[in-house]
Chain A
């Protein structure tokens, strides 16, 4: 495979969506830089991608909760990637988060604080260069808080708002900012759950969509992987609060 001289930075490389996304980019001839918490696990993904595609894949150890290291990381990352995709996320357990501050904080920091700070820093360097694409993976759960996962949902809502603001600010800087909301995805985490087939995407499908929107320019700035989610969430968002609070969602 001949390289095309472009680099993807994938943050959260050991997630199923992250892995599939990095692979799609590598298949298209991109160089790939994988960042993740566990060095040997990230190396396993890097080896996989380079064996499958012949692409050059580098790795970087990075913990999304270690925010004090971000400036160093963003300062040294080289070459500065053309596109950065952050898929980091942690569903956590809602009921535990209601009782344990620490668990709730971990969910908020993993889904909002870490990704927002990191993507914000990268955006600064992209803006200075005058080009680049930032892709944040948010969630339909951030479209409206629900009893079953509002800690996670709130953090994702924060990320959605952050990305929206960032996009607004950088709209004339040559930097694109995308928000991707995958909906249900068939992954390791959801392996045991029964998910509605119509609303459930495969990791590779999510990855293809990310690539198509980020690099092909197809689709808008806020992307629902399966189009059906958009009208569905419009409905969910428009249910008046007095009614919504009595629904068990």
Chain B
């Protein structure tokens, strides 16, 4: 079994689950079990120490209340299904990550952040309540007032408190399925940070960094700022088009690409084209379909195979705003000098997270993909040093390799989390490879 990055790979017995009623029995009869949604976490978070509970079969929506726009679904329901059903009816999920092929259970367990985190917080902040199957097999309803300790441990808790059976959260009303997008060009990292700071009132913002540019243009970026387009911005567009479903031609990568294809020259050429194209659109507001704005990579299914058999790592850290410029420059510079090209890196401003192990904390997050090679591990260890010294941390949903020290330095509420695992008996039943690796 493997995560989206295809590294690491571990043996784990897959257990199918089709009915919510069956969860209790499975949980109580196992140890070393972890829930798995659609396996879009990169590393070993969704690989059970011994067995892995496949939650995709818990795919039924339970109810929708239009008066409060609240939706209750089983944990295996896919974000793509929610979008398909609700965008045409004028609602959008409160928070979406960079792929729509994730489950609600996975979004809660990772407390996923979207391009609106600086304003609206993580997915967990919009969850009203959920049902959690705990180690004893009991099904507990958790909310901010009901079992709040379990609620805040489960949001961002990477499945280590139990299995989320179903969840209730609020959708946001939208007037159309289009995003009014503005592109800002930043010549270097300083400008990029400033632009993200200045667009804080915007609903959505994210920066794509060219990781190969160095020196004075280190961190040159395109910043995409977006709002759900309003009716007057669409000027008379017919309703059918306002909510046009674009099942945009999805193509699959049918085979693994050889690793040499992703070399410095090809990446540099790609980035150059990408930034020139972006710069041409700068300043003008353009209308972009939601699917393209939020999920540009979903157009190519299985793009993870782009990196070849050995797989790839994603390094995603967050560092506090005060030192962001020197620290992130240091990191980018280190990457640039190593010549380990990532197509693009993503930079985004985060607010705080509320789960005990939620990744987001106030500051800036930087994410880059790197193919797995011998040398890359040493490089990343060095970079982790910079992150830790700045008081930052790494995202567990992306992690496949960080050390225990890095982890413990970053997650300051870890002790409370471990204590809760002990008290609820979760430590004896729920263990992923990630939990083992990091000693949680």
Which A residues are within 8 Å of any B CB, using their own CB?
A: 1, 41, 44-45, 47-48, 50-54, 188, 191
Contacts and interface: CB of A to CB of B under 8 A. Distances in A.
B356 to A, nearest CB: 31
Select the residue from A41, A48, A53, A191 with max chain B CB neighbours within 10 A. Answer: A48
B75 to A, nearest CB: 14
Give 10 closest A-B pairs by Cβ, nearest first.
Answer: A51-B61, A48-B60, A52-B85, A51-B64, A48-B61, A51-B63, A47-B62, A52-B61, A44-B60, A188-B18
11 contacts: A41-B19, A44-B60, A47-B61, A47-B63, A48-B62, A51-B62, A51-B72, A51-B73, A52-B61, A52-B85, A188-B18
Nearest to B61: A51
A38 to B, nearest CB: 10
B71 interface: yes
Nearest to A44: B60
B57 interface: yes
B18 A1 contact: no
A186 to B, nearest CB: 12
Contacts of B19: 41
A188 B57 contact: yes
Contacts of A45: 60
Given A188-B18, A191-B16, A1 B60 contact: no
B349 to A, nearest CB: 34
Given A1-B89, A48-B60, A50-B63, 13 more contacts: A44-B60, A45-B60, A47-B60, A47-B62, A47-B63, A48-B61, A48-B62, A51-B64, A51-B71, A51-B73, A52-B81, A188-B18, A191-B16
Contacts of B72: 51
Most chain A C-beta atoms within 10 Å of own C-beta, residue among B19, B61, B81: B61
Nearest to A192: B16
Nearest to A188: B18
B169 to A, nearest CB: 13
Nearest to A27: B85
Interface string B48-64: 00000000010011111
Nearest to A40: B21
A208 B145 CA distance: 44
Most B C-beta atoms less than 10 A away, residue of A41, A47, A48, A52: A52
Nearest to B59: A48
